[in-house]
């Protein structure tokens, strides 16, 4: 009997010490878990912002380039060389290409902005829920700690009910965030696989669409047609200027403009002809000073008015040619492939890492509070048992002696 009593007393002593250690350590563990969660959330939101900015900037970049091409096409309709306008057929082709740009130009920007708006709206709710749950758990942990230390058993029991409600809600939120973390990871894996096999379909096409391939091809073809037509018109006026056409021209012949689609756009590939990018500077050498009659008064084959018209035309031609590479990436979806590769290399690792931080910190804080509830109840029962035992012992000590024994 004595051994049994000693064993029970030892167990109560161990339980009491365990409760004390737990009461002291659980608030610390909860604080650590919350710190990891909030730190991870801060960095996760920062990574999401960088990702959102990249998407929006990519969409805006596509839109701005298309608008720039559209402006160049419209400018081509107003070109006049030697009192000769571009053909009506070319103007119609320019109008069709311009209408296509109007129909698809804003899609990349709008889709990227809509996607990032939805992401930020969702994360705003997530952030509010995290702050609320973490704050409630922190308050619950410290209140339970102080009530338990002070022996306020009734308050401890009162905290148990809302504590379990908060823990249940937090575990549900942990599950939701785990699903979100898995979605982020799976999306990154899918995008990485798409980079390895660009022919596969990707959900990213909805965020940064390739645009309609046929429309892109038509815009590209319109730009090439305008460039070729302008170059032909320039070479015609140059051929006329190299002859004496009544403006009293003299001096060396003006070089013809090079066809960039056949010979490239450099001096090495164009030979005696001048590339588009150097044409304006090169032709300036052949400008003469005109007299009051409008004829050349010095050596030269181009009047200032002719040079000005030719400069405007060649700038439009060069701008459209330089845009052809961008249109090619738009048509074959290279621009989407580059965007996906950038996301998988520079954004996905941070998104996965910091979302895992948030999930891990949230689970740690939740489990800590859950165990705190167990030890609060255990400690409350221990305190109640001690109080009961103390009363029994006190009554036993005060009982009268009968025949040398306590009643």
Residues composing the chain: 407
How large is the average pLDDT for residues 82-96? 85
Inter-residue contact 228 to 259 (CB < 8 Å): yes
Give tens-digit pLDDT for 262-318.
877 777 888 888 998 889 999 999 998 888 887 888 888 888 888 999 999 999 999
Interval 50-54 mean pLDDT: 82
Do 113 and 35 share a structural domain?
yes
Q: Which pLDDT value is given to residue 315?
A: 92
Residue 12, domain member (yes or no)? no
> What does the block give as tokens for 204?
């990213």
Do 266 and 150 lie in one domain? The reply is no
CA dihedral for 303, 309, 315, 318, sign (positive or negative): negative
Identify which has the larger pLDDT, 152 or 106.
152
Last residue of one domain, picked from the residues 332, 351, 369: 332
Cα distances (Å, whole numbers) of residue 138 to 28, 130, 143, 352, 368 = 10, 12, 9, 26, 10
Distance CA 204, CA 201 (A): 9
Burial classification of residue 246, based on how many CB atoms lie within 10 Å of its CB (0-12 exposed, 13-18 middle, 19 or more buried): exposed
**Model confidence at 36: pLDDT above 60:** yes
Task: Compute CA distances 366 → 139, 163, 181, 218, 264, whole Å.
Answer: 13, 10, 18, 59, 66
**Residue 110 — very low, low, confident or very high, per pLDDT cuts 50/70/90?**
low
Final residue belonging to a domain, choices 315, 332, 349:
332
pLDDT at 159 over 60: yes
Burial (CB count <10 Å: 0-12, 13-18, 19+), residue 92 = exposed
Residue 165 belongs to some domain of the structure: yes
Residue 238: inside a domain, yes or no?
yes
Which of the two residues, 68 and 118, has the higher pLDDT score?
A: 68
Its domain, for residue 217, covers: 212-332
* 103 found inside a domain: no
> What mean pLDDT comes out for the span 181-189?
84
Supply the mean pLDDT for the chain. 76
Q: Mark whether 169 and 282 lie in a shared domain.
A: no
Residue 264 lies in a domain: yes
With bands split at pLDDT 50, 70 and 90, how would you rate the model's confidence at 14? very low
Rounded Cα–Cα distance for residues 314 and 355 (Å): 53
Number of domains in the chain: 2
- pLDDT for the residue 1: 46
Mean pLDDT computed over 365-369: 78
The answer on 304 and 260 residing in a single domain is yes
Q: Are residues 45 and 175 in the same domain?
A: yes
Structure tokens at 37: 């969660």
Q: How far is CA 60 from CA 205, 207, 323, in A?
A: 15, 12, 16
The per-residue pLDDT for range 115-147, each reduced to its tens digit, is 777 777 777 777 787 778 777 777 777 777 777
Most confident of 214-223, 234-243, 389-398: 234-243
Q: Is the pLDDT of residue 3 over 50?
A: no
Percent of the chain with pLDDT over 70: 75
229 shares a domain with 195: no
Pair 39, 128 in one domain = yes
Please report whether residue 1 resides in a domain: no
**Residue 18 in tokens:** 């365990």
What b/e sequence results for 329-361 when a residue is b if at least 16 CB atoms lie within 10 Å of its CB, and e otherwise?
bbbebebbbebbeebbeebbebbbebbbbbbbb
Q: How many CA atoms lie within 13 A of 261 on its CB side?
A: 16
Kindly state whether residues 61 and 175 are assigned to the same domain: yes
CA-wise closest residue to 102 among 141, 70, 130, 74: 70
Q: CA-CA distance, 208 to 191, in Å (whole number)? A: 13
Same domain, 218 and 361: no
Query: How much of the chain, in percent, has pLDDT values that exceed 90?
Result: 4
Q: What is the pLDDT of residue 119?
A: 75
201 and 249 part of one domain = no
Q: Residue 210 CB: number of other CB atoms within 10 A?
A: 21
**In the prediction, which pLDDT does 396 show?**
42
| 120 and 152 part of one domain | yes
| Residue 87 lies inside a defined structural domain of this protein | no
297 found inside a domain: yes
Is the domain of 143 the same as that of 162?
Answer: yes
pLDDT of residue 312: 92
Q: Give how far Cα 375 sits from Cα of 22, 40, 41, 138, 378, Å.
A: 7, 29, 30, 16, 5
Q: Strand locations in 9-147, DSSP E?
A: 80-81, 84-85
Which residue did the predictor score with more confidence, 251 or 407? 251
Higher pLDDT, 401 or 153: 153
- Say what the pLDDT of residue 402 is: 45
CA 307 – CA 300 distance, rounded (Å): 11
Find out whether 147 and 159 touch, Cβ atoms under 8 Å.
yes
- At 255 the pLDDT is 92
Of 332, 352, 368, the one marking the end of a domain is 332
């Amino acid at each position: 009997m004595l051994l049994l009593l000693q064993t029970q007393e030892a167990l109560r002593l161990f339980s009491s010490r365990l409760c004390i250690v737990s009461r002291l350590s659980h608030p610390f563990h909860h604080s650590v878990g919350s710190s990891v969660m909030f730190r991870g959330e801060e960095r996760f939101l920062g990574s999401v912002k960088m990702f959102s900015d990249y998407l929006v900037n990519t969409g805006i970049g596509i839109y701005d380039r298309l608008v720039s091409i559209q402006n160049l096409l419209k400018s081509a309709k107003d070109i006049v060389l030697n009192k000769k306008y571009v053909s009506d057929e070319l103007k119609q082709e320019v109008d069709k290409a311009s209408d296509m740009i109007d129909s698809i130009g804003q899609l990349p920007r709008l889709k990227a902005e809509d996607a990032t708006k939805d992401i930020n709206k969702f994360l705003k709710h997530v952030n509010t829920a995290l702050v609320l749950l973490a704050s409630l758990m922190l308050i619950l942990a410290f209140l339970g700690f102080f009530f338990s230390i002070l022996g306020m058993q009734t308050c401890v029991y009162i905290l148990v009910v809302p504590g379990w409600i908060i823990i249940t809600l937090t575990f549900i939120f942990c599950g939701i965030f785990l699903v979100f973390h898995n979605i982020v990871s799976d999306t990154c894996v899918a995008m990485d696989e798409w980079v390895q096999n660009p022919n596969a379909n990707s959900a990213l096409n909805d965020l940064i669409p390739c645009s309609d391939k046929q429309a892109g091809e038509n815009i590209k073809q319109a730009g090439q047609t305008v460039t070729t037509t302008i170059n032909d018109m320039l070479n015609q006026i140059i051929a006329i200027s190299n002859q004496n056409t009544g403006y009293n021209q003299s001096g060396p012949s003006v070089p013809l403009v090079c066809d960039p689609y056949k010979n490239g756009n450099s001096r090495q590939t164009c030979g005696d002809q001048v590339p588009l990018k150097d044409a304006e500077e090169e032709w300036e050498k052949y400008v003469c000073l005109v007299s009051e009659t409008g004829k050349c008064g010095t050596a030269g084959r181009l009047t200032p008015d002719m040079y000005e018209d030719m400069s405007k035309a060649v700038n439009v031609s060069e701008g459209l040619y330089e845009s052809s590479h961008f249109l090619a990436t738009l048509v074959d979806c290279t621009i989407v492939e580059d965007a996906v590769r950038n996301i998988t290399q520079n954004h996905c690792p941070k998104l996965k890492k910091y979302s895992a931080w948030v999930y891990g910190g949230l689970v740690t804080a939740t489990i800590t509070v859950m165990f705190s509830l167990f030890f609060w109840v255990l400690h409350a029962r221990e305190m109640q048992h001690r109080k009961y035992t103390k009363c029994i012992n006190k009554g036993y000590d005060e009982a009268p002696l009968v025949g040398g024994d306590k009643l």
